């Protein structure tokens, strides 16, 4: 929050029917950093990410992108600044990796102007950055889970935005693929200075890869800061109601949670 944040939630409240999911929540995504949003199930962390990406209408308060309320900006203009990978996107059968990535260019195209050199360049770059260039012509349904998730991230990359939001990108992946995917996400953040926020379930992976931890409980942000400061035995107890011991990861030096 030291740098001026480009994406800010100001007192947002979201309710599903009677149940309030986010309550008067304030948060700012640190620019240029990799932020991991953690919290127990039904804490509102995915809803927060969706609200930040203007996928979730807010009942009160507002999300501000670059100093202007996000719902007052055209959806296409927002999509050129901010990309989101939702939790369970669907792909039509037989869609190739390249055709999926090309769809990331939608906000840069129009009905009358559907393809440009900039599009081709962004698509090839996104394929290269995710290591999918060799698989570009394969149908998505012929890929492994990890490759498929990388293809979706490549689509979001082709959107060529400064801000990238990911909703539980590691779900359904085994541990090696989770590590591979988060390494990729961190490289994307480090190499281009992109602001990245991702919802994660695994506290230890969040601590290892993220610059900032954002912990959500009962629809409110209860902690925000670097993993070393924020992840403590007391805070994990507070956020997850989980008694634990926190040690220093002997390899990476980051906090490591051992549930008791």
Interacting residues with another protein (CB under 8 A): 50, 53-55, 74-80, 83-96, 99-100, 103-104, 106-107, 109, 111, 114, 137, 156, 159
Please, what sign has the CA dihedral across residues 233, 236, 242, 248? negative
CA 16 to each of CA 50, 106, 137, 189: distance values in angstroms, whole numbers, following the listed order: 13, 30, 41, 33
CB atoms within 10 A of CB 259: 10
Q: Name the helix (H) or strand (E) containing 125.
A: helix 117-129
Q: Looking at beta carbons only, is 49 or 205 nearer to another protein?
A: 49
Q: What is the dihedral of CA 31, 196, 123, 148, to 10 degrees?
A: 180
Rounded to 5°, angle at Cα 77 from 72 and 79: 110
Instruction: Please state the closest distance from residue 114 (CB atom) to another protein, in A.
Output: 7
Residue 193 Cβ vs another protein, minimum distance, rounded to whole Å: 21
Taking the complex as a whole, how short is the minimal distance between the CB of residue 6 and another protein, in angstroms?
Answer: 17
Do residues 86 and 92 make contact, with C-beta atoms less than 8 angstroms apart? no
CA 29, 154, 132, 179: dihedral to nearest 10 degrees? 30
| Residue closer to another protein (CB basis): 153 or 257 | 153
CB of 162 to another protein, least distance (A): 15
The residue (of 32 and 139) whose beta carbon lies closer to another protein is 139
Q: Which lies closer to another protein via its Cβ, residue 105 or residue 217?
A: 105
Nearer to another protein, 30 or 107 (CB): 107
Considering the complex, state which of residue 83 and residue 215 has its C-beta at the smaller distance from another protein. Answer: 83
Cβ atoms of 75 and 54 within 8 Å: the answer is: yes
Please report which helix (H) or strand (E) contains residue 46, including its range: helix 45-52
Cβ atoms of 259 and 242 within 8 Å: the answer is yes
Shortest gap between Cβ of 98 and another protein (angstroms)?
Answer: 9
Min dist. Cβ of residue 212 to another protein (A): 22
């Amino acid at each position: 929050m030291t740098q001026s944040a480009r994406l800010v939630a100001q007192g947002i409240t979201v309710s599903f029917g009677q149940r309030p999911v986010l309550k008067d929540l304030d948060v700012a995504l640190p620019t240029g950093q990799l932020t991991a949003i953690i919290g127990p199930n039904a804490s509102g962390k995915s809803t927060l990410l969706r609200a930040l990406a203007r996928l979730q209408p807010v009942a009160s308060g507002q999300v501000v992108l670059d100093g202007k309320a996000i719902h007052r900006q055209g959806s296409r203009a927002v999509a050129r600044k901010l990309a989101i990978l939702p939790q369970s996107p669907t792909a039509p059968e037989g869609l190739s990796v390249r055709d999926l990535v090309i769809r990331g260019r939608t906000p840069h195209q129009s009905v009358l102007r559907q393809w440009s050199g900039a599009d081709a360049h962004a698509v090839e770059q996104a394929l290269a950055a995710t290591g999918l260039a060799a698989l570009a012509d394969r149908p998505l349904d012929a890929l492994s889970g990890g490759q498929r998730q990388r293809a979706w991230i490549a689509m979001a990359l082709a959107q060529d935005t400064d801000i990238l939001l990911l909703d539980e990108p590691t779900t359904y992946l085994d541990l090696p693929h989770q590590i591979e995917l988060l390494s990729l996400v961190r490289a994307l953040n480090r190499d281009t200075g992109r602001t990245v926020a991702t919802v994660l379930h695994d506290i230890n992976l969040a601590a290892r890869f993220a610059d900032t931890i954002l912990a959500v409980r009962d629809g409110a942000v209860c902690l925000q800061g670097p993993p070393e400061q924020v992840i403590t035995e007391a805070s994990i107890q507070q956020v997850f109601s989980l008694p634990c011991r926190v040690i220093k990861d002997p390899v990476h030096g980051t906090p490591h949670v051992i549930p008791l």
